[in-house]
Amino acid sequence: MPPRLSDLEEKTILELSHYSYRGDDIFPILRETLKKRYKNIKIIDYDQWGNFRDYRKYGVELEKYDSLAELLKKDKVDAVIIGIGACGACTPAVTRTSAAIEKCGVPTASIIISGFLAQGKLVGKSQGLPGIGLAEYPGTMMTDSIEQLTDKVNNTLINNVVKCLTSAEVSPVEKEVPTVTEPGMRDIVFKGDIIGVNDYYYDQLWTDGLPIIPPTIKEVEKFLAYTSRKHEEVISVLMHENREATIWNTAVNGVMAGCRPEYMPILIAIVEAISVPTYRIQDSGITPGIEPLIIINGPIIKELDFNYDQGVMRIGRRPNSSIGRFLKLFMRNICGFRLPPGVGDKGSIGQNFNVVLAENEDAVKEMGWQPYSVDRGFSAGDNIVTIVSSNSMSSPAYSAGSTAKEHLEALNELLGQRFLATFSTFAVHCLEYQPVIMLSPAVAKILAKDGYTKDAVKEYFFKNIQVTAAWIEKYVFDFHGVYLNMYEKVKQGLLPPEYGESEDPQRLVKPFPKPKSLQIVVSGDPARNQSKAFVNNGYIGIPTSKEIVLPDDWQQRLKNSLV
């Protein structure tokens, strides 16, 4: 970290904001209070640099911008106040950007609310800056009145900001981040019985609280036999904790999760998918408590005995269950998304991990549709995994009747208006929203019988799922702490015209940026008329697909594994 400033008098301070969590209240109050305390301070308003998380402005997010140092030098920036860390994705983003600025030689103060200080320190440590300056906003601004907020900014936050910029003392945090031992690839970390292994792994925060299969070298090597890739190969480096995702630790976590060795090609494809930058694995600790949903297509569904029928989302079938668990263990152990006493996963309430959703490709073929993998740009018959974030799964949606119209009207009301439209804030806040609708084979066949293609079904929902502008604007504030006027945003060219056709707060708008935003998968009990949906978390965890690369002697290996 660069030296702190001796004083803020006659210094140029840059504000950086991601336009959330009442930054439009906090920054102006803080700015005026600083000006009163330091008569000759110069403050660059956050609007001058714009949203530091908006990759469209600089081609990437600011933390990755190659010319960041030049920008700071051009504006003669002496220090930066950045915020606001009030969720499990924005806090790491604030801290990483702060670290990038510190490495340019400019001191920073990151505004973080009390409950996220430990996560901020964890991320600072992963960036090589364990003493990074975290300026605490006490409590949470999302439940403060404007009077309470003003008092906290004027009497607490300003002092914490000044201290970060002028003192070398490490910012206090609510608890220390536990030290994690980093074993080598073939290190023996424990010797003992099965109970001892599980207790030791649990104490190290390496398990999800359920029993694991001990990842002995012998068991790991069984998995490695199902790939020709070098064991030490680095697939990617994953945040929060900048740890290498390798072929070796993919196999280790697969063993622990209870997978079979022949699942290894799928596990590699999953790690490759979450490593794609646009998937944004770094935001998986966000407060909505999102869980990745793995969707699988191809002949491998039957070859490995995935459930794609009744009870498809239940724990109970080994490949569906263990592979779903694998991804959660991998995110915990490699990325660092750990629940307390860990600090990386900040899901406010959270949910359980999802089992793998396998599509019923027999039903899809019978009705004349193409499998979901074709929607993702692959050919029918390819073995494909797709990962998408899921905030939650809907309640059962039953639709009855012998015509597509009857089913679509029911699904539009039950899955569209009552569930998917609730999170329509994503469409206007980040112009990204790609939820999954899982249609029962029985329902999908009625739609196909009446001439509906999959694209026609998507178009129907796109046109008919609508919500009032007033609801979106209210929930954008409740969720993101953003004051939104869609009509004004359209006039400024920041939203598409359809969001500002009038100033009537009760006007209806669509929650999807485009018809193909909707993802449709056919699966579940073919004997019943039940469908469900999964809410995607905007631009975090957008659908990302990878091909499953099988060994050349795959069929022979399968025969041997069944002997």
Complete domains list, the chain, with CATH: 12-166 (3.40.50.10350), 181-391+542-563 (no CATH), 392-536 (no CATH)
Gap between the Cα atoms of 84 and 169, Å rounded? 21
Gap between the Cα atoms of 550 and 556, Å rounded? 12
3-state secondary structure of 548: coil
- Encode 381-436 in three state secondary structure: CCCEEEEEEECCECCCEECCCCCHHHHHHHHHHHHHHCCHHHHCHHHHHCCCCCCE
- Measured in degrees and rounded to the nearest 5, phi and psi for residue 397 equal -115, 110
pLDDT at 56: 76
3-state secondary structure of 265: helix
Gap between the Cα atoms of 58 and 60, Å rounded? 5
Give the rounded distance of the alpha carbon of 256 from its chain centre.
23
Gap between the Cα atoms of 537 and 544, Å rounded? 13
Q: pLDDT tens for residues 234-274?
A: 999 999 899 999 999 999 999 999 999 999 999 999 999 99
- The single residue listed with the structure tokens 């999800």 is 208
pLDDT at 155: 96
pLDDT at 381: 96
Cα 321 to Cα 141, 169, 515: the distances in Å are 39, 47, 32
Q: pLDDT tens for residues 508-523?
A: 988 887 888 999 999 9
pLDDT at 169: 56
Q: Give the residue ranges of the chain where pLDDT is below 70.
A: 168-181, 562-563
Q: pLDDT tens for residues 128-177?
A: 999 999 999 999 999 999 999 999 999 999 999 999 999 865 444 444 54
- Radius of gyration of the CA atoms of the chain, in A: 25
pLDDT at 296: 98
DSSP structure string for 125-172: HHTT-TT--EEEE-S-GGG--HHHHHHHIIIIIHHHHHHHHH--SPPP
CA-closest candidate to residue 447, choices 435, 433, 436, 461: 461
**Per the omega criterion (within 30 degrees of 0), is the bond before 341 cis?**
yes
Do 426 and 542 contact (CB within 8 A), yes or no? Answer: no
pLDDT at 70: 96
Q: pLDDT tens for residues 172-196?
A: 444 454 555 688 899 999 999 999 9
Structure-token pair, residue 541: 């965890």
